[in-house]
Structure 1
Amino acid sequence: MEVDVRRILLFAALAVSAFPVFAAAQSYAEAKALADRDEASVSKTQSDALLESQGAAIDRIAPACARAMGPAGMPPFVVVVELDAAGKVVATWREGDSDFAVCFEKRLRVLSLFAPPHAPFYTSFEMSMSPPD
C-alpha cells in the first residue's frame, strides 16, 4: 500500500486550521461559567475598571437600542463577551431573544472594554429592569 504524503499533509493542515473553530464553539453556559470565573479572579482595581467600562458600554448602547424595546419594557437578558488582550470584543453569547437583547449584543460586538489581565477574558452583561433579589 502506497502512502500519499500530500493527502496526509493536507489532512493534517485542515485538522490544525480547524482547531480554533472547535475551541471557540462553546455554549452560552460554558461561556457564562468562564465569565463568572474571570470576573471573580480580578483585583478590586481591575474590577472597578471593568465595571466602569461596562457602564460606559451600556450608556452608549442602551439609547441606540431603545426603539427595539417593546411596550412591556426590556425583558431580562445576559450577554457574555470574550475579550482579547487589548479589551476588544471577539465573541459573544446571549441568553434572551428580545429585540433589545439582539440589538444590544450586535452593538456590543464592535466595542472594546478594559484591557484585561489575561486573554482570553470573559465577562458578562446581566441586564434587567427589575431590582435584584
Structure 2
Amino acid sequence: MIAMVALLLAAQTVITPATPFEFSDALDRADTHEAALDPTIKATLVRAQNTALKASMASCVNLAPGKLPHFTVVLELDSSGHSLNSWRNNNVPMVRCVERELAKATYPTNRDPDFFMSFVVTFEP
C-alpha cells in the first residue's frame, strides 16, 4: 500500500506542468522570451499579434463596461504557435472574451516549446 501511494505521488509530480501559475510570472517570461527573438521573427510575431488583437477586440468590444479597460493577456505557446495556457490581469467580461479569442489564433515563434508572449492593451483618451 505504501509503495502504491509513493508511486501515485511520483506520477503526479511528473505530470504536473512546469508552467507558472501567477500572472506576473507568466508576464516576466513573456518579456524575456519576446526580447530574445530574432528581429525578423519578432516583426512577424508583432504583425500576427496585431491581426489577432484587432479581430478579438472587434468580437468582444460590445462587452466593454462603458470605458474600455486597460489589460494584459499572456499566452504560453507550444512549438507550433498554438496556445497552451493564458493569463490576464483584468476580469471584466470583455477582457475574458479577448483572452479566449487570442488563444484561438496561431502565432509564429522561434519553434521553441513553452514560448510566452503578451498583449499589453491601453487606450488613450
**Looking at CA atoms only, which structure, 1 or 2, has the larger radius of gyration?**
1
TM over 0.5: yes
CA contact (8 A) 2:20 2:26 kept: no
Distance 2:52 2:81 in 1: 12
Alignment partner for residue 27 of structure 2, among 27, 32, 40?
32
Q: Unpaired runs of 5+ in structure 2?
A: none
SS of equivalent residue, structure 2 residue 35 = helix
TM-score, normalised with respect to structure 1: 0.83
TM-score, normalised with respect to structure 2: 0.87
Give the percent of matched residue pairs that are identical in Structure 1 and Structure 2.
Answer: 24
Q: Does 1:17 align with 2:12?
A: yes
Q: 1:10 to 1:110 in 2, by over 3 A?
A: farther
CA contact (8 A) 1:86 1:116 kept: no
CA contact (8 A) 1:42 1:117 kept: no
Greater than 6 Å deviation, 4+ residue runs:
none
Distance 1:25 1:31 in 2: 6
Which 10-residue stretch deviates more, 116-125 or 34-43?
A: 116-125
CA contact (8 A) 2:76 2:115 kept: yes
Q: Unpaired runs of 5+ in structure 1?
A: none
CA contact (8 A) 1:49 1:114 kept: yes
- Supply the RMSD in Å over aligned alpha carbons: 2.0
Residue aligning to 1:125: 119
CA contact (8 A) 2:27 2:74 kept: yes
